[in-house]
Chain A
């Protein structure tokens, strides 16, 4: 089964749970599902734009200056996304706070830009970037679901029409385990999810070895 460039980033090479990239802003915004989705969307946007721009610019920029230029590029793009969010989604922007701005030095984004700028096929680059971004968002969503359900007994999405945006889980929303919404909970949930991901990976490797040998 050949895995497409996009799908690789979702599971097998999930940037957050497998390679542990881009941890910093991730944990801090994973206490609400809406924040996780918001940051994830930001990551995908910045990633796609940065990868495309870097690929186009690479021929004209001397090798030694490239890291600096990528840094400026990503920072500029993050600023654009930041401003756009302030204009159209101010509440979300307020909640994300500095963690949106921290995408400017996010190791996932910078690392990917550095790597993919060298490739020749633009469409492949974009698919890889999209996959990584989607994988990151998916992992972040998973963490946020666990943390918000256990820690506040709710699932906070975006208001749409008559839907207020907050789903309350019966039972849990009366007595949620608030510690899970705190920093300790974030580290704990991530720890067990990474362990789970590792277990799945090891299991798959064993299955492959068995079928190969």
Chain B
């Protein structure tokens, strides 16, 4: 698939949140404000852009050739945890050098790294891709899809006033229903559209 096709698929057709139903816990945590949604989305994108190629290399250069595919879960988790440690260190460095950026982005890095979005995206994307470079693009795009869903959801939630919403639906339920309606809209993006647009 072309690069554009990979990006379109990861962002819209197989949107991490609205199609794969991953990353719901951090998403709903961040839906409280647009800023935190943006920060979280950027953090997830960054982590995925780093993790996906590494995981690809692990899968296609180590596990498969050495017939260790059954270790996939364990190996992926360890690698992701390792990258998480690196990212955390980078966050500490960032906090020293650029406190503002750290506040916007770095605060979310721990939450972003160790959650189902990263592992899930890696497990879904990596086996089918043919190079580490494409994996990086796919990972970044998946993160972008998460970011878009996250920011749009947060902006919708900001529009609602808590005194308007029926009591039983306040908080998480109404957020879930909003996400459900968003998912309905995203059904517009399917493989047929992908195929016709990008061949």
Contacts and interface: CB of A to CB of B under 8 A. Distances in A.
Interface string B164-182: 0000110111111101110
B71 interface: yes
A24 B116 contact: yes
A75 B70 CA distance: 12
Interface stretch (A36-44, A78-86, A116-124, A133-141): A78-86
A94 B101 CA distance: 43
A191 interface: yes
Nearest to A81: B73
A67 B114 CA distance: 12
Given A25-B116, A104-B73, A107-B25, A20 B184 contact: no
B81 interface: yes
Interface residues of A, number: 40
26 contacts: A21-B25, A24-B22, A24-B23, A27-B21, A27-B24, A28-B22, A72-B74, A72-B78, A75-B74, A75-B77, A79-B71, A79-B72, A101-B76, A101-B123, A102-B116, A107-B115, A187-B21, A187-B176, A187-B180, A191-B174, A191-B176, A191-B177, A194-B173, A195-B168, A198-B171, A198-B173
A79 B74 contact: yes
Given A75-B77, A101-B76, 18 more contacts: A24-B22, A24-B23, A25-B116, A72-B78, A75-B78, A79-B72, A98-B120, A102-B120, A102-B123, A105-B77, A105-B115, A107-B25, A183-B18, A185-B180, A188-B176, A190-B176, A191-B174, A198-B173
A20 B73 contact: no
B98 interface: no
A186 interface: yes
Interface residues on chain B, size class? 35 or more
A191 B180 contact: yes
Contacts of A196: 168
A182 B183 contact: yes
Contacts of B116: 24-25, 102, 105-106
A179 interface: yes
Interface of B: 18-25, 28, 70-74, 76-78, 81, 114-116, 119-120, 123-124, 168-169, 171-177, 179-181, 183-184, 187
A27 B124 CA distance: 16
Main secondary structure of the interface of B (DSSP, over half): helix
B21 A184 contact: no
A131 B168 CA distance: 26
A74 B43 CA distance: 25
Contacts of B76: 101
A194 B184 CA distance: 20
A76 interface: yes
Interface string A8-25: 000000000000110111
Contacts of B19: 183
A188 B173 contact: no
Contact of A184 (B20, B23, B175, B187): B187
